């Protein structure tokens, strides 16, 4: 099968599979890749160690050439976002899907699901929400989506910032999330308000 056909087949499989992870779409469209699921054991500056069904594996995020975003290939964009996720978002105990090529190259990382936990509080003026998640070591940070404002400059989506600000420390929540380069909260459901604590 030629590379163009492989790329087309992988893209069709992804669309039909309905994974919905932007970085996963980039990697599948970029060419041959292996899809591996596992649990995060540890992360380094540019490495990720997973526990998979076949044992532990350590992957390295390849260096991405510095150039304008528009001039980067889809694979370079995916690797760039994977590097951010490895460095800033992933924590031991999290379940993820990764795209690999070669022996140990990490070409993309994705995750989606639902978690429950207790709000630590909003930070950065509401651009970030910290939650102590059941079964995860440390706080998980959810970042507001960004959009172009009326002046053409990028800003966090105001409705998401207000939603993050409205959640007080100690509130128990359920969050449906998706990992892009950061974790994004798709829906937030308040399960229990903590009336005993002041934020």
DSSP letters for 75-121: HHHHHHHHHHIIIII--TT-EEEEEEETTTEEEEEE-EEEEEEEEEE
Question: What CATH code is carried by the domain that includes residue 86?
Answer: 2.40.50
CA dist., res. 140 & res. 67, Å (int): 31
Q: What is the pLDDT of residues 72-115, one digit of tens each?
A: 888 888 888 888 888 888 888 888 988 888 778 888 888 888 88
93 contacts 135 by C-beta, under 8 angstroms:
yes
51 and 97 together in one domain: yes
105 and 168 together in one domain: no
**Domains in the chain: how many in total?**
2
119 and 104 together in one domain: no
Strand, coil or helix: 174: strand
The reply to whether 7 falls in a domain is no
The reply to whether 23 falls in a domain is no
79 and 118 together in one domain: no
User: Between these two residues, 10 and 182, which has the higher pLDDT value?
Assistant: 182
86 and 103 together in one domain: yes
77 contacts 122 by C-beta, under 8 angstroms:
no
99 and 116 together in one domain: no
The reply to whether 197 falls in a domain is no
173 and 101 together in one domain: no
The reply to whether 13 falls in a domain is no
The residues, any chain, with a CB within 8 Å of residue 18's CB and separated by 6 or more, are: none
Quick one: pLDDT band at residue 21, thresholds 50, 70, 90?
Answer: very low
The residue from 110, 130, 146 where one domain ends is 110
The reply to whether 5 falls in a domain is no
Tokens 């600000």 sit on residue: 165
DSSP letters for 112-146: EEEEEEEEEEEEGGGTEEEEEETTSSSEEEEE--E
The reply to whether 186 falls in a domain is yes
125 and 99 together in one domain: no
Q: What is the pLDDT of residues 64-83, one digit of tens each?
A: 777 777 788 888 888 888 88
The reply to whether 176 falls in a domain is yes
Give the pLDDT of residue 33.
54
Q: Is residue 11 predicted with pLDDT exceeding 50?
A: no
The reply to whether 12 falls in a domain is no
Domain that holds residue 82: 33-110
105 and 116 together in one domain: no
184 and 136 together in one domain: yes
105 and 149 together in one domain: no
Kindly report the backbone phi and psi dihedral angles of residue 70, in degrees, each rounded to the nearest multiple of 5, phi listed first: -65, -25
Angle subtended by helix axes 74-84 and 22-30, to nearest 10? 140
Dmax (CA) for the chain in angstroms is 63
128 and 70 together in one domain: no
Taking residues 115-141, report their average pLDDT: 87
């Amino acid at each position: 099968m030629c590379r163009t056909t492989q790329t087309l087949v992988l893209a069709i499989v992804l669309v039909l599979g309905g994974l919905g992870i932007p970085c996963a779409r980039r990697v599948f469209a970029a060419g041959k890749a292996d899809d591996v699921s596992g649990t995060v054991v540890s992360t380094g500056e540019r490495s990720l160690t997973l526990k998979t069904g076949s044992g532990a594996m350590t992957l390295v995020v390849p260096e991405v050439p510095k150039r304008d975003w528009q001039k980067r290939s889809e694979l370079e964009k995916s690797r760039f976002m994977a590097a951010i996720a490895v460095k800033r978002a992933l924590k031991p105990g999290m379940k993820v899907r990764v795209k690999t090529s070669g022996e140990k190259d990490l070409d993309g990382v994705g995750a989606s699901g639902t978690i429950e936990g207790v709000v630590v509080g909003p930070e950065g003026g509401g651009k970030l929400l910290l939650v102590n998640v059941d079964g995860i070591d440390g706080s998980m940070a959810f970042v507001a989506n960004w959009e172009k404002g009326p002046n053409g400059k990028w800003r966090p989506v105001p409705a998401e910032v207000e939603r993050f600000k409205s959640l007080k420390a100690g509130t128990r929540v359920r969050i449906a999330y998706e990992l892009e380069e950061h974790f994004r909260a798709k829906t937030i459901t308040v399960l229990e308000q903590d009336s005993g604590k002041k934020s």
